[in-house]
Chains A and B, each alone.
Chain A
Amino acid sequence: MNSIAHTLKLPLTAKEHNGTCFMEDNLKEIWERFYANHSRSFWFYIYKVCGDENLADDIFQDSFVRFLKAAPDIKNERHLKVYLYRTAFRLIIDKKRRIRVEKKSFDEKVHTYERDMHDTGQESGALLSMEMEKTFKRLKPKQRMLLWMAYVEGYSYEEIAHMTGTKKNSLKVQLFRAREKMAVLLKEKKEQERIKP
């Protein structure tokens, strides 16, 4: 599978030329394999950056549809992932206003969850992940995306700069700010836990 997107491009081009659907079954298989391997991690990334499940569903589907329609010339699977992550990030930024609204609903969700957990007397393992989520949400969507790309997906600075459409040097500064903010939040949290009995 050295050139999945290039292969995916074939039927669109072919149809434009003579209206045939050659190799479509084979391409479907390639597409299904690619989807099976990467769709869940891709959705997870979108959800963590935008923070809203419904919005993540929309953006997830939109990104794939845009990719299939555009059928860009892509060298390998990693390049394809970069393309998808970039598309998704642009869609997230487009829907920034909705993300602001969602922030409010997330806080409400946390309060309800905390209350439920307290009422049922359950252990707070899940609560801890909600706390972590809350900390992550204190970053801006772009900062979340940068940290995700660098530390979860392990992309190089060049790749992230390409994804965000910035120069490498300004990306370094942006990443520094995101990292610094995150480090400050984590240190604050540690300090609070130390003071609390």
Chain B
Amino acid sequence: MRKKTCHLEEEVQASLYSGKLSPEIRHHISDCPVCRDSALVQGWMKRFTERAWETDMLGKTLPPALKIWNSVYTWKRIDKKLVRKAMRPLIVPQVLSLAVFIAAIGYITVWGFKKFGYILDNPIVSQIVPFLGILMVSVILFSAFCALIALFDRRRYPA
């Protein structure tokens, strides 16, 4: 089995990187297959990066440092209270749309029950109906919860 590591591996790598190879290290590289590969790969990587740097980085423009800085610091400076204040008018349409939605569901349900009352006689439907009632109650509760939040927010941060 071929050995996977060498006790001088790190030392060899550091010497190859710095370009200062002592005679002992040179001798070791010629003897050790791990370090020989290391030297081969290091030489190739050096040539590769030099060539690639010339071709890839020549016309490359990076975003200015200040752009990145500002993208972070502008975000940090945002006043959360002001954001909430700005978003407050959105609570009203949200609550209103929920109320309209509930009214629509109620109307459809009542209208449907009137028109198709015989469906309720079906044993399966009669089992489902109580669950629909629970769903409606939960929607109404949620709407009330939203309205409470809106009220609480208005009292906490008066305009």
The answer to whether B55 and A180 touch across the interface, beta carbons within 8 angstroms, is no
The answer to whether B48 and A132 touch across the interface, beta carbons within 8 angstroms, is yes
Q: Does B118 contact A (CB under 8 A)?
A: no
Interface residues on A, range: 35 or more
Q: Does B13 contact A (CB under 8 A)?
A: yes
A127, chain B: closest CB distance, angstroms: 11
Chain B residue numbers with a CB within 8 Å of A172 are 4-5, 9
The answer to whether B68 and A61 touch across the interface, beta carbons within 8 angstroms, is yes
Assembled-state Cα–Cα distance A61/B72 (Å): 11
Assembled-state Cα–Cα distance A126/B51 (Å): 8
Interface residues on B, range: 35 or more
Q: Does B45 contact A (CB under 8 A)?
A: yes
Write 16 A-B pairs (CB below 8 A) sorted by A numbering: A15-B77, A28-B66, A32-B69, A39-B62, A40-B62, A43-B60, A48-B52, A68-B68, A69-B76, A133-B48, A133-B52, A152-B46, A176-B34, A179-B34, A182-B44, A186-B41
Closest 7 CB pairs of A and B: A35-B65, A154-B17, A68-B72, A129-B51, A183-B37, A151-B45, A32-B65
Known interface pairs A64-B68, A128-B51, A129-B52; 16 further A-B residue pairs with C-beta atoms within 8 A, sorted by A's residue number: A24-B73, A28-B66, A44-B56, A48-B49, A68-B68, A68-B73, A132-B44, A132-B51, A136-B48, A148-B45, A151-B45, A154-B14, A156-B10, A176-B34, A179-B34, A179-B38
Name B residues whose Cβ lies closer than 8 Å to a Cβ of A. 4-5, 9-10, 13-14, 16-18, 34, 37-38, 40-42, 44-49, 51-57, 60, 62-63, 65-66, 68-69, 71-73, 75-77
Name A residues whose Cβ lies closer than 8 Å to a Cβ of B. 11-12, 15, 21, 24, 28, 31-32, 35-36, 39-40, 43-44, 47-48, 60-61, 64-65, 68-69, 126, 128-129, 132-133, 136, 147-148, 150-152, 154, 156-157, 172-173, 176, 179-180, 182-183, 186
